[in-house]
Amino acid sequence: MSENGNPPVPDPQLLEGAKAAFKQAYVPYSRFRVGAALRTPDGRVFLGANVENASYGLGRCAEQSAVQAMATAGARKFTDLVVYSEATPPASPCGGCRQILFEFSPEARVVCVNHHGEVVSGLVRDFLPHGFRLEQRDDGHGVGTK
């Protein structure tokens, strides 16, 4: 999913943040850590880790945690996201997270990277073609992302 077959090197600040979040992951069930770091257009960085639960379905992915932190701080857009895992190939956002990322920033760049430096990257809209938007409705009741 990279452009020109040349995947971008992850932004160093976001990689550092994603690795820090990775260390905080709460994963007693899967033992699969994921860390995420995103940057808003004004330069703020928000982190997220996956946080699991004994009621398995209530677990939260790292990407969703980062978006929650961003939105809670009042930000509504991000330009770059780094997802760090120690998996091969690097963990790529799940389907639900793709929709959550798409809600705020379909044009943002996503760089998934692992401990070997392997990268899978693309724009959010590349990861989720034809993502759902309520604005698509034709009855005049579309809602925005304010």
Give the residues lining the site for ligand THU (CB under 6 A).
27, 30, 32, 34, 50, 52, 59, 61-63, 83, 91, 93-94, 97
Residue with tokens 């880790």: 49
Of the pair 30, 88, the CB lying nearest ligand THU is at: 30
Nearest to 97 by CA among 19, 34, 55: 34
Cα separation of 27 and 94, whole Å?
16
Which is nearer to ligand THU, 67 or 146 (by Cβ)?
67
Shortest separation between residue 104's beta carbon and ligand THU, angstroms: 17
Q: Which of 3, 16, 63, 103 is catalytic?
A: 63
User: Least distance to ligand THU from the beta carbon of 124, Å?
Assistant: 13
Burial class (CB in 10 A: 0-12, 13-18, 19+), 141: exposed
Handedness of CA 32, 125, 101, 120 (dihedral sign): positive
- State yes or no: is 63 an active-site residue: yes
Q: Which residues are catalytic?
A: 63
